[in-house]
Every structure is written in C-alpha cells, then in structure tokens.
Amino acid sequence: MEKRATFGSKIGIVLAAAGSAVGLGNIWRFPTEVGENGGAVFIIIYILCVVLIGMPLMTAEFIVGRKTHKNPVDAYRSLAPGTGWVMQGILGIFVAWIILSYYSVVAGWTLQYLISAVTGKVTTMSDSAAYFTHFTQSAWMPLVMVAGVLLMSHWVIVHGVQGGIERYSKFLMPLLLLIIAVLVGGSFAMPGSDEALRFMLKPDFSKINGDVLLSAMGQAFFSLSVGMGALLTYGSYFTDDAKLMTTARKVVVIDTLVAIMGGFIIFPAVFSVQTVAPDAGPGLVFITLPSVFQMAFANVPMVGWVFAVMFYLLLLLAALTSMISLHEPVTAFLIERTGLSRPVATTVVTVTCILLGSLCSLSFGPLADVRFLFGMTFFDFFDFISAKIIMPIGGILLSIFVGWYLPKDMVIKELTNNHTLRFPRWLFVSFFFLIRWVAPLAILAIFIDELLF
Ligand code: TRP
C-alpha cells in the first residue's frame, strides 16, 4: 500500500491548522455574532468557551487523528472496533460536506466582491444595499461564483497534503496576516473607532442569556473548526514529533486574535458611517463596508480602492484555506474507503458541493420560499443544523471518547509523544478535568437550555 502522506514541517502544521480555523468565521460570522449579541459581553463569553471547551476539544481531535493516521471514519473504527463510535466519524464527514456547501456560497460572494472591487464597482456604486440584494437574489452569477471558489479549493486538494494543503497554507496565511495588520491600522484611523472600541470592550452584563451562551459556544466551535472531522484529518497528517498541545494553543491564539482583529476592522467602519446598525447581520461586510470604502474613495481615490481590494482579498483567502480543510476530510474518506484516486475523489466532492451550494445560494432568490423547520431557508437550515446542533453533539461525543473511552495512558502517551516531552503535572490534570467534565457538561447544559427554553 502507498505510504500515507504527512505534513513536512512544524510550521506547515501550525499554518495549515490555523488556515482551517481562520476563515469567514472570524471576519464575517464573528463580527455579525458580536453585533447581534451585545458586543463585549459576547466576546468575554466567547473567549471562555474557546479556552475551556474549544482548546481541549481541538487537542482531542489531534489525538484521535495522529494516533491512528486515518480519516475520521477509519480512525474511530480502529480505536473502537465493533462499536457505534464509527457513527461519530460518519457524522463528521456528513457535516463537513454540508458546511463546505453553504460556506462556498458566502465564499462566492467574497469572490464576486473582490472582482467588483478590482473593477472599481465597489467604490463607485450608488446603493450598496441594493447591489448586495440584487446580486445575492439573482439566479446565475452567485452560482458561477460558488463553482469558482470550489474549483480553487479543488485545485489545492488535488495536489495532495504537502504539495497542496501545506504549500498553499504556508504562502496564504502569512499574506493574510499582513493584510489584516494593514487593514486594522486603516480602520483605527476612522472617526468611529472610539465608539467601536467601547462597543467591543465595555461589557453590559444584563445582555447575558441562554441564547448568547449558545451563540458564543456555536461560534467558538465553528471558528476553531472543532466538533467534527476537519482537525482530526489534519491531525492524521501530523508527524510523530508534532506537539499536539502546543499546536492547539498556537492555533487557538492565532484564531482568536484574528477574530478580534476582524472586529477591529469592521466596527470602526460601521460606527463611522452610521447607516447600518452593528446588528445588521450577514450583510455587514457586504453592505456597510462598501459605503466606508466609498467614503475613503471620495477623499483619496487610490486609498479607497486599495482598501476595498485588500479587504475582499483577505476574506477570500481566509475562506479558501478553510474550505480546503473541509474538502480534505471528505476526499480522504472517499480515497481510503472506496479506493478512488485523489483526482476522482476530489472531483466527486467538488461537484456535489457545487450542487448543494447552488441550492443554498438559490435560497436567497428563486428558492426563498422553500422553508424548513421554523421557517428557515436552505442556507439558514444548513448553518443551524451544523453550527448549533451537530457540532455541539459532536463536541460532547468527542470529549467523552477521548476523556472516558480511550485509556488514559494512551492519551498521555500521545500528548507526550511517547513520553519524550515533559509537561508540568497541572497541565495534564487540567486537560483531563476540562475534557472529562467541563466540556461535555457545559456543552450539554447550554444545548439543553437552548432547546427547551
Ligand atoms: N473555522 C472556519 C471559519 O472560521 C470554518 C471551518 C473550517 C469549519 N473547517 C471547519 C467549521 C470544520 C467547522 C468545522 O470560517
């Protein structure tokens, strides 16, 4: 049998995993959630969820992946043969497929906006809200864009683990961080930055309720890419000397900083134009920001144009590295379970996601009347079942699997790279405490509260 691929370097491992984590979740979904859930309070709860639940779960996924060097389904099958645990792997593949489909829709919007920014449309159009609605509701262009972004991700995935995922992550992630730094600088120069800082940093504790808790937790899962098979699959390509806890810590720090920077880029702009409230929802970065770029353009044309291009490029790159991490688990599963070659397996995923993504995309226009549970469109429904239902369930199962099902020595052996790394004892004690008790109970409590009340 062909030897299974691994990443080639530690920096490649961190950047690939950070590429998965840093995505539209940070720059589009996070500011939206912060806006809808009361600002600073949400950020505090979010950080608690990230540290106490997200980081241990990310480490747990790395453990299962690196221990087995297999795709999610085979990983659970080999660690727990003949049990129902394999369902956890199947659920993971299923959600990755779903998320990739609806994620491509928003990624497609960013591609469209990047093109419009380059051609100067973004900085000169008269009504950004009308443009957004007109574009998202039309039938064809959004579908072309969905196919476009999926083909980009396809291109990376066909080139495999080192030649595709690692190579592009090592190039795209530093570029992305550079763009963020420039944009944050630009945003702080805006007149609304004081008000924005107050909104993001000064908590109003009366705003806490079950909904805010579930949203913060859902956002933490989504942003860190945990609770299903994506990081498990990346973990399965880690080399034996990769440090799992250290990698998880680095990825969590990068992801959280980028999310907060995302807020710092967007809210000063939002408060500066005053035409859209911070809780405007998904349209925030597609409706509000164009007005800001136009303001800048009116003053110094070159600056407005450059910022617009950089911003949408940033969104697109962030989206792309995350799409790759959703594309790979499904592809690896198909390759290893059905014996398809990499190009064929990748194509199956690309094509099915173009189809499902088109359904989601059309739910903003021609299919807007097709409603599910609670009146949700395809798009809302996909987002809801993945971020708010399947990911929490996946999180609980993952914590039980690694905290209780796997033998403790096996977990410690994996964390210490077969006892070659030394860690202070409190680190293990807290890891096991968090993964055994805090993570499953907190997720369960928040989840039940949301479903019942
Ligand atoms: N974390 C990504 C973001 O913030 C989205 C993402 C990529 C994801 N891979 C995932 C979410 C796996 C859940 C599971 O945009």
Would residue 3 count as lying in a domain? no
**DSSP letters along 266-312, please?**
HHHHHHHH-SS-TT-GGGIIIIIHHHHHHHHHHH-HHHHHHHHHHHH
CA trace torsion 144, 145, 151, 156 (10° rounding): 170
Does residue 170 contact residue 11 with C-beta atoms inside 8 Å?
yes
For 76-181, list the strands marked E by DSSP: none
Domain count, the chain: 1
The residue nearest atom 10 of ligand 1, judged by CA position, is 225
Q: Which ligand 1 atom is nearest residue 26's CA?
A: 4
Please give the pLDDT value at position 365.
85
Please choose from 231, 254, 322 the residue to mutate so as to test ligand 1's pocket, defined by most ligand atoms within 8 A of CB: 322
Query: Ligand 1 centroid vs 296 CA: distance in angstroms?
Result: 32
Q: What is the pLDDT along the chain (453 residues), one digit of tens a residue?
A: 457 899 999 999 999 999 999 999 999 889 888 988 888 999 999 999 999 999 999 999 999 999 999 999 999 999 999 999 999 999 999 999 999 999 999 999 999 999 999 999 999 888 888 899 899 888 899 999 999 999 999 999 999 999 999 999 999 999 999 999 999 988 888 888 888 888 888 888 888 887 888 889 889 988 999 988 999 999 999 999 999 999 999 999 999 999 999 999 888 887 877 666 666 666 778 888 888 888 878 888 888 899 999 999 999 999 999 999 999 999 999 999 999 999 999 999 999 999 999 999 998 888 888 887 777 888 888 888 887 788 889 999 999 999 999 999 999 999 999 999 999 999 999 999 999 999 999 999 878 877 776
**Angle value at C-alpha 156, between 132 and 138, nearest 5 degrees:** 20
Would residue 429 count as lying in a domain? yes
Would residue 307 count as lying in a domain? yes
Does residue 19 contact residue 172 with C-beta atoms inside 8 Å?
yes
- Distance separating alpha carbons of residues 28 and 290, to the nearest angstrom: 14
Query: Ligand 1 centroid vs 314 CA: distance in angstroms?
Result: 16
The helix-helix angle for 391-400 and 439-452 (nearest 10°) equals 150
Count how many Cα atoms sit within 13 Å of the Cα of residue 12 in the half-sphere of its side chain.
Answer: 17
How long a stretch of residues is the chain?
Answer: 453
CATH of the domain at 249: 1.10.4160.10
Query: Ligand 1 centroid vs 411 CA: distance in angstroms?
Result: 25
Count how many Cα atoms sit within 13 Å of the Cα of residue 77 in the half-sphere of its side chain.
Answer: 11
Query: Ligand 1 centroid vs 210 CA: distance in angstroms?
Result: 23
Please give the pLDDT value at position 1.
45
Does residue 357 contact residue 146 with C-beta atoms inside 8 Å?
yes
Instruction: Give residue ranges with CB within 6 A of ligand 1.
Output: 20-21, 23-26, 99, 222-223, 225, 228, 230, 322, 325-326
- Distance separating alpha carbons of residues 54 and 215, to the nearest angstrom: 14
Query: Ligand 1 centroid vs 302 CA: distance in angstroms?
Result: 34
Would residue 1 count as lying in a domain? no
Q: Where in the sequence is the domain holding 131, given as residue range(s)?
A: 10-452
Would residue 5 count as lying in a domain? no
Would residue 358 count as lying in a domain? yes
Q: Which ligand 1 atom is nearest residue 227's CA?
A: 14
The residue nearest atom 12 of ligand 1, judged by CA position, is 225
Would residue 4 count as lying in a domain? no
Q: Is 237 helix (H, G, I), strand (E, B) or coil?
A: coil
